[in-house]
Amino acid sequence: MEELDKRREIKKQMIDRLLIWYPEHARDLPWRKDKDPYHIWLSEIMLQQTRVEAVKDYYKRFLAELPDIRHLAEVEEDRLLKLWEGLGYYNRARNLQKAAISIMEDYGGAFPQTYEEIRSLAGIGDYTAGAIGSICFDLPTPAVDGNVLRVYTRIMEDDSNIDKQSTKNAVRDALAEVYQELKGYRDDKAENEYPAGSCGMATQALMEIGATVCVPNGTPKCEECPLSAICGACMHQSWNMYPVRNEKKSRRVEDKTVFVLTCGDKVAVRKRQSKGLLAGLWEFPNVEGHMSKQQAADTAADWQTAPEQMQMNYNYTHIFSHVEWRMTAYYLACRKLAEPFTWVDMDELDQNIAIPSAFKPFVEVLKKEKQN
């Protein structure tokens, strides 16, 4: 019982210290200007698997064209994916739109305000629902991501495997106890000693301390940390032991031959299949395996493009989370606009066609070639 009380006190001190620290140390980020749930939702989805600095411009551009949930629900998918181009994990964008349509149809366009309703929307998991609920509506719903798990397990010197859902649930439940106090829910007669909005501030403070001080890569900045006095890993210099994770699996390596086929001012593209990696996105024609120049020319001829000149070739490796594509691209000038492909000019490619990051370098090489 004594140990339980001690851990409960550490958790409370952790939140209390962060609530004091956060207002003076929070980064100035565009999605922190207000508590509009559309803005918070969009930023949280964009920030999944993506660096903050990379998201800023995307966030501003996206809102400039789709300023509210109605516009998101009504935008054509190709335009939506073009706005998302370069962020990767394109199902995030598709799920955003699915959720926006649900909000328009089921909630009259007003963002739902309970954790259960938020969690039921497409593409929203426990973390995002907790973030929106606490930041926008001051609900006692912690948002537990990698940053929060790292901070918590180091403070508590908790060697539970954070890749297990049971560990995430346990940390969320532990923080929820403190969040209940932030809302004054300890019992029916409790007085709330915290100001309104404390749940949301606690969520953002936990994110911030993990992103900027108790950092994911490298040595934590313990000398700057407001939690160092209560952190077991800091006191015992054991930070490199936490968090505990599964051993990473090696990536699968795949060779690909890419065809950048031009005919006059047109270039050939095609849509990928509706399932699998990069589903439904545009790409340059490509095949599995590595081809020689002659094999590539023969394949382009089989496609009825009438290739007449091999202009150049370019090698590029693109790394996904689980697979590595080693690509050789052949640039071929052709005489025919073969039907298997869609032929577009460079303006349309830039403005309307969403090309995944894996194929973007080939676009840049093509642009330079045309300028010469």
Catalytic residues: 44
Task: Look at strands 252-263 and 307-319 and give their pairing.
Answer: unpaired
143: left (phi over 0), alpha (psi -120 to 50) or beta: beta
Phi and psi at residue 50, to the nearest 5° = -140, 140
74: number of Cβ within 10 Å: 12
20: number of Cβ within 10 Å: 12
Largest CA-CA distance found in the chain, in angstroms, rounded: 83
Q: Identify the DSSP state of 19.
A: H
Q: What angle do CA 361, 31, 12 make, to 5 degrees?
A: 120
**Please, which residues bridge with residue 270 across strands?**
283
3-class secondary-structure state, position 305:
coil
For the four alpha carbons of 45, 50, 56 and 59, in that order, the dihedral sign comes to: negative
Q: Identify the DSSP state of 241.
A: G
